[in-house]
């Protein structure tokens, strides 16, 4: 086990180093960071009751999680009533094969996709490509990362790690063969070019796959929130619409939806509302002018149900707004890919070990300063930093941490619990450090502290500890 974690550690630290040295990534992240933070703050300040709505949002999600089976059954009933189909997938593999079957049965060749993190979680694109489908991402950010052969680095802004110049190059490379030979560099022009390339795909797609921000039990509807309207085209143009969602996405009613929507966009992008909020509740009815002929919902468990009733249940409240990523200093420094799986930032560091196995990502809960900013901004009050600490405890108990570090902690505790002896022992490094520093006030190197002194000086400790001074020089303290 410790072997696994040591390999992982090297891998994680390597990814971190690569990210920190990636000039483009650093430029893109620096630009994105303050934008998200400032906009959220503005939106929050403009809505005095924002915090009350957050409480209500948390309560709604808690209520659902305590009655998840009831709401899921109700939801399924309604979907069927509306003429749709519900499929239950225990894990990613099962979900992929269900979706591949639906695509094959409908004779599909081209599949368009709206943004869906849950489909990333299932590795759906390679699975569909393996059965001969052409998969086209229609969310601009997802489209960019697809062209680049990457995965999203942010749960709501998949290409946040790319600079405009990189996007220009990508588009030029991939769109020239399609006749777009001009090299466009401006934001607007890039968006328009992508739109016009994607438009043809929308029309020719046989199956449209979207995620869902919410599933409404009372009506059997799924709700998609986007800023590009691509979700609408993906949902309504193709013959078949497949919705993929985690089982925790269900909510009781439209009333609850209005509460959750009020915190979602504000937390995510600082908008009052996203540009498009679309509600779909099944296949086209005879009186409808448009819409898909068939409507399927694939509900994914993939480890979620085992979080119910446990220490991490609150993580299932997550509405995937991305605020915790936007406010995380570590995420801001290393970007999403360094986390190693599709869910990055604080929510990812909590989720990844739960969904992929505790020994799959030993570093993630530790690579955090516990500054608590994520917890502060989470619209549904998920105590993210507390859950990360919980993970650390669990790792310690499962002995996933190195034997050396556990031994050091025990030895150190032994010493700390013997204060007089501790003071005597500590006097040695204090004296030595003072000798070596020769009054310079700082050390450029300390044993076992290269992690610190490679990039920072170490302020020299006092010659004599406070407690020793207090009890020896100051009379009458004894």
Residue 85 three-state SS:
strand
Is residue 467 within the footprint of other proteins (CB under 8 A)?
yes
Q: Residues with Cβ < 8 Å from 438, sequence gap 6 or more? A: none
Shortest gap between Cβ of 387 and ligand SF4 (angstroms)? 9
Among 6, 13, 24, 52, contact with other proteins (rule: CB under 8 A): 13
Stretch that binds other proteins, among 16-24, 165-173, 185-193, 348-356 (CB under 8 A): 16-24
Question: Dihedrals φ, ψ of 242, to 5°?
Answer: -115, 125
Can you read off the two tokens belonging to residue 303? 């480890």
Contacts 24+ apart (CB under 8 A), 128-135: 128/96, 128/99, 128/100, 128/103, 131/100, 131/103, 131/104, 133/100, 133/103, 133/108, 133/109, 133/207, 134/109, 134/110, 135/111
> Candidates 82-90, 301-309, 343-351, 423-431 — which segment interacts with other proteins by CB under 8 A?
423-431
Do 364 and 349 contact (CB within 8 A), yes or no?
Answer: yes
How far is Cα 167 from Cα 193, in angstroms, rounded to an integer? 12
Rounded to 5°, angle at Cα 294 from 293 and 295: 130
Query: x/- binding map, residues 121-160, to other proteins, per CB under 8 A?
Result: ----------------------------------------
Cβ 372 vs Cβ 46: under 8 Å: no
Whichever of 187 and 442 has its CB closer to other proteins, that residue is: 442
Cβ nearer to ligand SF4, comparing 367 with 433: 367
Q: 373 to each of 177, 242, 345, how far by Cα in Å?
A: 46, 36, 12
**Stretch binding other proteins (CB under 8 A), from 93-101, 114-122, 286-294, 444-452:** 444-452
The verdict on 160 binding ligand SF4 (CB under 6 A) reads no
Give yes or no for residue 324 binding ligand SF4 (CB under 6 A): yes
Report the greatest alpha carbon distance in the chain: 94
CB of 84 closer than 8 Å to CB of 297: yes
Q: How many Cβ atoms are within 10 Å of 426's Cβ, its own excluded?
A: 15
Residue window 387-406: x/- pattern of binding to other proteins, with contact defined by CB under 8 A? --x-xxxxxxx---x---xx
Q: Is 55 in the site for other proteins (CB under 8 A)?
A: no
**Which residue reads 């489209």 in tokens?**
143
Q: Of the listed pieces 212-220, 320-328, 360-368, 426-434, which binds ligand SF4 according to CB under 6 A? A: 320-328
C-beta closer to other proteins: residue 211 or 340: 340
Q: Which does 406 bind (CB under 5 to 8 A by kind): ligand SF4, other proteins, none?
A: other proteins
Q: Looking at 290, 404, 420, 475, which residue binds other proteins (CB under 8 A)?
A: 420
Q: Using CB under 6 A as the criterion, what x/- string covers residues 249-268 for binding ligand SF4?
A: ------------------x-
Contact between 42 and other proteins by CB under 8 A: the answer reads no
From ligand SF4, other proteins, none, interface partner of 6 (C-beta below 5 to 8 A by class):
none
Cβ–Cβ < 8 Å for 187, 244: no
CA-nearest of 68, 46, 390, 122 to 249 is: 68
Residue 153's closest CA among 292, 7, 300, 18? Answer: 18
Binding partner of 399, given ligand SF4, other proteins, none, CB within 5-8 angstroms per partner class: none
Partner residues linked to 300 by β-bridges: 89, 246
Is residue 354 close enough to count as binding ligand SF4 by CB under 6 A?
Answer: no
What does the binding site for other proteins look like in residue numbers (CB under 8 A)? 13, 16-17, 20, 329-330, 333-334, 366-373, 375-376, 389, 391-397, 401, 405-406, 409-410, 412-413, 416-417, 419-420, 422-423, 426, 430, 439-442, 449-452, 454-462, 464-467, 469-471, 477
Which residues of the shown chain bind ligand SF4 in the complex (CB under 6 A)? 267, 318-324, 347, 378-380, 382, 384
């Amino acid at each position: 086990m410790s072997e696994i974690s040591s390999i992982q550690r090297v891998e994680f630290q390597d990814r971190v180093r690569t990210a920190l040295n990636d000039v483009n990534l650093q430029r893109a992240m620096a630009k994105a960071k303050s934008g998200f933070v400032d906009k959220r703050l503005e939106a929050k300040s403009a809505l005095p009751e924002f915090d009350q709505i957050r409480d209500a949002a948390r309560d709604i999600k808690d209520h659902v999680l305590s009655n998840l089976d009831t709401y899921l059954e109700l939801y399924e009933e309604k979907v069927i009533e509306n003429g749709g189909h519900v499929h239950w997938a225990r894990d990613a593999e099962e979900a992929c094969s269900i979706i591949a079957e639906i695509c094959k049965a409908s004779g599909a060749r081209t599949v368009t996709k709206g943004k869906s993190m849950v489909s990333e979680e299932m590795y759906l694109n390679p699975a569909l490509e393996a059965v001969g489908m052409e998969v086209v991402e229609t969310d601009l950010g997802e489209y960019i990362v697809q062209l680049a052969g990457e995965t999203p680095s942010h749960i709501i802004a998949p290409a946040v790690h790319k600079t405009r110049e990189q996007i220009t190059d990508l588009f030029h490379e991939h769109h020239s063969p399609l006749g777009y030979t001009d090299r466009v560099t401006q934001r607007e022009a890039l968006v328009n070019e992508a739109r016009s390339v994607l438009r043809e795909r929308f029309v020719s797609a046989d199956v449209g796959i979207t995620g869902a921000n919410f599933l409404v039990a009372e009506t059997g509807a799924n709700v998609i929130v986007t800023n590009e309207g691509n979700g609408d085209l993906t949902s309504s143009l193709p013959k078949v619409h497949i919705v993929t969602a985690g089982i925790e996405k269900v909510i009781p009613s439209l009333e609850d939806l209005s509460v959750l929507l009020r915190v979602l966009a504000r937390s995510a992008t600082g908008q009052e509302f996203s540009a498009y909020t679309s509600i779909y509740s099944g296949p086209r009815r005879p009186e409808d002018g448009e819409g898909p002929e068939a409507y399927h919902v694939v509900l994914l468990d993939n480890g979620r149900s085992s979080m119910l009733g446990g220490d991490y249940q609150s993580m299932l409240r997550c509405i995937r707004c991305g605020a915790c990523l936007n406010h995380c200093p570590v995420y801001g420094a290393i970007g999403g890919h360094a986390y190693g799986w599709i869910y990055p930032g604080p929510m990812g560091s909590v989720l990844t070990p739960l969904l992929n196995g505790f020994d799959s990502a030993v570093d993630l809960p530790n690579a955090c300063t516990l500054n608590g900013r994520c917890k502060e901004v989470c619209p549904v009050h998920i105590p993210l930093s507390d859950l990360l600490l919980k993970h650390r405890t669990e790792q310690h108990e499962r002995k996933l941490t190195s034997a050396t570090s556990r031994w050091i902690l025990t030895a150190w505790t032994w010493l700390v619990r013997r204060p007089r002896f501790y003071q005597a022992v500590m006097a040695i490094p204090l004296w030595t450090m003072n000798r070596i520093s020769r009054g310079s006030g700082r050390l450029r190197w300390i044993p076992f502290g290269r992690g610190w002194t490679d990039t920072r000086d170490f302020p020299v400790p006092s010659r004599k500890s406070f407690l020793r001074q207090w009890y020896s020089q100051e009379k009458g303290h004894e």
